Amino acid sequence: MDVAGTVDVLVNSAGITEGIVPVDELEPDRWDQVIGVNLTGSYLMARAVIPGMLQAGKGVIINLASIAGVGSFGGPAYSASKHGIIGLTKSISATYDEDGIRCVAICPGRIPTNIGTENPKVSPRGQRRIDHQRVRPAAGSPEQVADVALFLASDAASYVNGCEILVDGGLIAR
């Protein structure tokens, strides 16, 4: 049964973090939970909508990764899950591009959301990393990320496929 029906655009944006803790302080259950929500959740949603997109001959999947997925700071499970989302994005793109399905990852920088409120644990090592990143640029807004997603979902982005789009105010360049 096709539970997704016809979906033109999927935005995988669910995400959680373990806080900013080193590997030796991260409990395996929390690792599994972060990987499950962030990476497995994106896979399951894509898996649910791709059959309808194949039938329609078109579709766009936008995965929210993070600058943590391209080499910036983040907790170990969060970073690993966001690296995985970038890999998943490239795999989907390479597999389904000839079927009219595009897949792109957005990698936001510091955006004020509630992602850290469910587990705000920050180790002293993690706090040093956070303090270093807060210097510049200023945090962006959720609307700035949404604007990029709207562009990627549009026909104006028809040649954008299989890549990561940084929306970080230049943070990763510093």
- Any idea which residues carry the catalytic annotation? 78
Q: How many CB atoms lie within 10 A of CB 65?
A: 29
3-class state of residue 128 by DSSP: helix
Grouping H, G, I as helix, E, B as strand and the rest as coil, residue 159 is: coil
Find how far residue 89's CA is from the centre of its chain: 9
Using a CB cutoff of 8 Å and minimum separation of 24, what contacts does 151-156 make?
Answer: 152/60, 152/62, 152/104, 152/106, 153/8, 153/9, 153/11, 153/60, 153/62
Q: How far is CA 157 from the centre of its chain?
A: 18
Helix axes 41-56, 76-96, angle to 10 degrees: 10
Contacts of 138 (CB under 8 A, 6+ apart): 169
